Copies of this chain bind each other. A is one copy, B any other.
Amino acid sequence: MTRQLLALVCIFVIAPLTAAEGVPRARDLGIPFAGTPGKLNAITDVPGVTVGHVTLIEDLADGKAVRTGVTAILPRGRQSIDTHAYAGWFSLNGAGEMTGTTWIDESGFLEGPVMITNTHSVGAVHEGVIQWRVAQGAADYTDYYWSTPVVAETWDGWLNDINGFHVRPEHAMQALDIASSGRVAEGSVGGGTGMICHDFKCGIGTASRIARIDRSDYVIGVLVQANYGSWELLRVAGVPVGQYLKEADVLPENTDYEQGPSSIIIVVATDAPLLPHQLKRIAVRAALGLARNGSIASNGSGDFFVAFSTANEAVARGIADARITAISNDSIDPLFDATVNATEEAIINALVAGRDMAGHEGNQVRGIDHGKLREILRIHGRLDE
């Protein structure tokens, strides 16, 4: 049955280069953030990083609806196949899944893409990544195909027919194929299609920061799939916005809304040369950016963060006599600061990009009201105008 439904699914592949045009981001609304963003204020400001979204939106029979997808982040674009990347990860609250993490801990390397999808599609995407790798031809420099792909998830069962298993391996392959540099679509795209944060429509968000260390500029790029939190706890730019909202401002009418397991996946990319244990430190800092927006990492929230560096390319290709470079621990704070700031903004970008959506069994979710949000910030002296 799953097969048959699949044939009906209309796939909107939202091209990163055009989708974001004309859509206001958090800064466009005047929300203030600390630090200096890169050119696109996106994870793709880190040279080489590519992102691909496959978005599945379709209304099926019997009130069933597909509102889901998959997002691929490649550290070095298609070259990620043969040139790995030093990486580290952190689980702030393990109520969910990010596969492939034990090998990151053990080897220090992310050996391929990071994939983000819905909770029940982890298996399909996992298989898709391996199939895609096999389809590329020869095995990588280790003489081996990726066997432990990194696949993370958040739960979209309120808007999406999650037990319909609509994401298939080929969707993962497609997301990998179309991944590109440049602007990154935000909101209800890719893995973020059916996601909700602070009870508002949410999904994918991204941001970046420039960190200056010893006269060199490095980029920190962050991409989130945000699906966590309750409206009461929402904080934006430090203002406890949730305290100034009423339930009627948030919840859709005529619907028995109940937030399911919430979560957030945060991917941090950098071109700064960092060793694996240092990248784990970067991943941990994502928690501090998340906290600024009001998260308490609630029981059912799967909050997983992974960080990778695109430096040390020769080493990552397994070249035997390659020399490694690394920023010293004593110089690392600007990267920590950049990570916290970019994470804070990427989440608010995901929130601001959310639009009203109806989905599975008629369930609805609202996008946050930009005007009301701005008004609350204005009265707190926290709006750039």
CB within 8 Å of B: which residues of A? 34, 91-109, 119-120, 122-128, 130-131, 134, 142, 144-145, 147-148, 153, 155, 163, 165, 169, 214, 233, 235, 238-240, 243, 260-261, 275-278, 281, 284-285, 287-292, 295-300, 302, 304, 315, 318, 320, 323-326, 328-330, 332-333, 336-337, 340, 379-382
Contact = CB atoms under 8 A, between A and B. Distances in A.
B91 A95 contact: no
Contact of A275 (B105, B153, B276): B276
Given A96-B102, A238-B239, A298 B130 contact: no
A159 to B, nearest CB: 16
A347 B4 CA distance: 44
A340 B296 contact: yes
Contacts of A315: 326
Nearest to A131: B165
B99 A95 contact: no
A106 B93 contact: yes
A120 B134 CA distance: 11
Contact of A325 (B95, B107, B289, B324): B324
A249 B330 CA distance: 27
B333 A328 contact: no
Contacts of A95: 102-103, 106-107, 148
A102 B304 contact: yes
Contacts of A153: 147
A144 B157 CA distance: 10
A291 B287 contact: yes
Contact of A323 (B98, B323, B336, B340): B323
A104 B336 CA distance: 19
24 contacts: A94-B101, A95-B103, A97-B99, A101-B102, A105-B277, A106-B281, A108-B277, A122-B123, A123-B123, A126-B126, A130-B165, A147-B153, A147-B155, A148-B302, A277-B277, A285-B297, A296-B337, A296-B340, A299-B329, A299-B333, A300-B330, A318-B330, A380-B381, A381-B381
A147 B96 contact: yes
Given A108-B275, A275-B108, A323-B323, A148 B96 contact: yes
